[in-house]
Amino acid sequence: MSKALMEKRRAAVAKQKRRRYLIYGGALALVLVIAVAAVTQTGGRSRFSSTGPIEGLQTFAGLSRAHAVDIDLADAGRPPAGGPHHPQWLNCGIYREPVPTINAIHSLEHGAVWVTYDPSLPADQVAQLESLTRGDPYVLVSPYPGQESPIIATAWGAQVDVDDANDERIEQFVLRYRTGGPEPGAVCAGGLGEPVS
């Protein structure tokens, strides 16, 4: 076989290898892009759909977004789903003590979901809530003394009451409402409070 023919054959084999690498590499890149998009859109959750009805969902319209330092909130046995609030938001995360409501409302404006529980909720239920939401940069978890339901998930303009931390509506609610407040994408860090996680 002539030297020129061998060079042509080597060039053809190298070209075929490059083409194969491009095809496999492109397919792998496409799979990675789809996976990253799916995780980003669901915040790492995939068990439940964020669409469809959430049984017991309450919504509230016309909520004031006024900032004020001195706010007297009427205790209605539940966290407010919006309204006048302090200019400083509360850092998202897990709290084991009650948090300032006027700051948590500001976090709701930034797109946070606030999962509150009656302080008498059994420890295993509290641990379940914490494990469900741990590491989510747009979720607050805290006790809320005197609330009328064992667990309440609250976002700006929306709320759902549940009796058990294993209730799928908690995760559905978080999927639907996290990062969806009047200021979507605003930070839920760099504010007030030191969450335990």
Q: pLDDT tens, position by position, for the chain (197 residues)?
A: 677 666 777 776 667 777 776 677 666 666 666 666 655 544 444 444 456 799 999 999 999 999 887 777 767 789 999 999 989 999 999 999 999 999 999 999 999 999 999 999 999 999 999 998 888 999 999 999 999 999 999 999 999 999 999 999 999 999 999 998 899 879 999 999 999 98
Cα–Cα distance measured from residue 9 to residue 58, given in angstroms and rounded to the nearest whole number: 71
Please name the helix (run of DSSP H) or strand (run of DSSP E) that holds residue 41, with its range, or none.
Answer: helix 3-42
Would you give the DSSP letter of residue 143?
Answer: E
Q: Minimal CA–CA distance to 93: which of 102, 104, 79, 82?
A: 104
Cα–Cα distance measured from residue 123 to residue 145, given in angstroms and rounded to the nearest whole number: 15
Would you give the DSSP letter of residue 192?
Answer: B
Q: pTM for the full model? A: 0.74
State the maximum Cα–Cα separation within the chain, in Å, rounded to a whole number.
93
* Helical ranges in 43-122 per DSSP H: 101-109
The tokens describing 9, both together, are: 């054959």
Cα–Cα distance measured from residue 127 to residue 111, given in angstroms and rounded to the nearest whole number: 23
3-state secondary structure (DSSP) of residue 160: strand
Q: What is the pLDDT of residue 35?
A: 61
Would you give the DSSP letter of residue 26?
Answer: H
